[in-house]
Amino acid sequence: MEMISTIGPLLLMFVLFYFLLIRPQQKRQKAVQQMQNDLKKGDKIVTIGGLHGFVDAIDEGKVVIKCGDGSRLTYDRAAIREVTESAAGGDMLAKS
């Protein structure tokens, strides 16, 4: 009985850490991975360095980004932080 009272708080702390820290981080990682896998040509994106542009071409692990001045830069797919406007979403907005 004494062993349960000794291990109980430690076990409770581990369960709390799992639900408050580990699980949400895993969900965020899955969401970022899904976003990077769903990139399409024409998506408006922001890189982890803060570069804004449009996806011009997609390769296995690389993305070519077209910037505002027309230059094309090649980045790793993992460098994409967020999609601010989806290419499909932009078409739907134009139709309505």
Give 34-64 pLDDT, tens digit per residue.
Answer: 999 999 999 999 999 999 999 999 998 999 9
Structure tokens at 67: 């910037």
The reported pLDDT for the residue numbered 95 is 36
The reported pLDDT for the residue numbered 5 is 83
Give 76-93 pLDDT, tens digit per residue.
Answer: 999 999 999 887 755 434
Answer yes or no: are the C-beta atoms of 56 and 72 closer than 8 Å. yes
Place of tokens 């690389």: 62
Q: The whole model's pTM is what? A: 0.69
Q: First-to-last CA distance in the chain? A: 68
Count each helix (H run) and each strand (E run) in the chain, helices first.
3, 5
